[in-house]
Amino acid sequence: MKPNEILLNTLLTNQDRIMISDEEIGDEHIGTSVETPMRSDAFELSDDEKIAQIEYHFRQIMETLGLDLTDDSLKGTPKRVAKMYIKEIFSGLDPKNKPAVALFDNKYQYNEMLVEKNISFYSNCEHHFVPIMGKAHVAYIANGKVVGLSKLNRIVQYFAKRPQVQERLTMQIARELQEVLGTEDVAVYIDAKHLCVSSRGIKDESSSTVTSYYGGKFQEAATRQEFLQAID
């Protein structure tokens, strides 16, 4: 195998294997796993230790670019970026930041679809580390238990705050909701704009990407159509 090449299973029905370079993976927005790829030692360092290391390395990047880090506007940038990575935009990598979700008895016996739509989120493309911005729409049909509405938003935000591909983000949100709610009857629909498409490469500023997941009763045409009409 040549350097910078990996083997991937294609999504074709014949499961042929193809050779594809790491550069092509980024341009084609290919994901290799439903789980976020993490090393086994990912959490051996404390947040403060990670911030210190990222600050050092980002300083090296800025200096390599020829920027003058003695300038008042730039000298604090490495630490600001490091803190932003750990405390904000990639905080969803750390399980300790996973939102606690309390379930409540469905005392009203509401057994119809519940939809939370237009959940704004910001993520980052794992291939180029540039923003993904969009809206998520989620729905479920209660199976004896319900969850506070804000928790649906928090679950979306948790999985968005990590390097992502949109297909994985969609699946991770859906699987978490199914596990938390104890039901397969979950739907997730995401419409997002990728700056790796609009600001580089093809530089298409008008397109967006749509991904969806339909579990349980949402696989039925009528239920799926009801959901799609609700988020339209």
Strand 163-164, strand 113-125: pairing: parallel
Taking the C-alpha atoms of residue 51 and residue 44, their distance in angstroms, rounded to an integer, is 13
Q: Tell me if residue 29 is catalytic.
A: no
Say whether 109 is catalytic. Answer: no
From 125, 157, 172, 178, active-site residue: 125
Asked if residue 160 lies in contact with residue 98, where contact means CB atoms within 8 angstroms, the answer is no
Q: Is 196 a catalytic residue?
A: yes
> What does the block give as tokens for 86?
């750990």
Q: Which of 55, 157, 178, 196 is catalytic?
A: 196
Q: Quote the strand ranges of the chain, DSSP E.
A: 5-9, 17-21, 103-105, 113-125, 131-141, 145-147, 163-164, 186-194, 209-214
Q: Is 128 a catalytic residue?
A: yes
Catalytic, out of 55, 116, 128, 164: 128
Contact (CB, 8 A) for 170 and 190: yes
Q: Choose the catalytic residue: 55, 116, 127, 176.
A: 127
Task: List, in sequence order, every beta strand (DSSP E) within 40-130.
Answer: 103-105, 113-125
- Active-site choice (157, 164, 166, 172): 166
Candidates 116, 137, 157, 194; catalytic one: 194
Rounded to an integer, what distance in angstroms lies between the CA atom of residue 64 and that of residue 190? Answer: 37
Cβ atoms of 124 and 130 within 8 Å: the answer is yes
Residue pair 152/224 in contact (Cβ under 8 Å)? The answer is no
Active centre residues (catalytic)? 125-128, 166, 194, 196
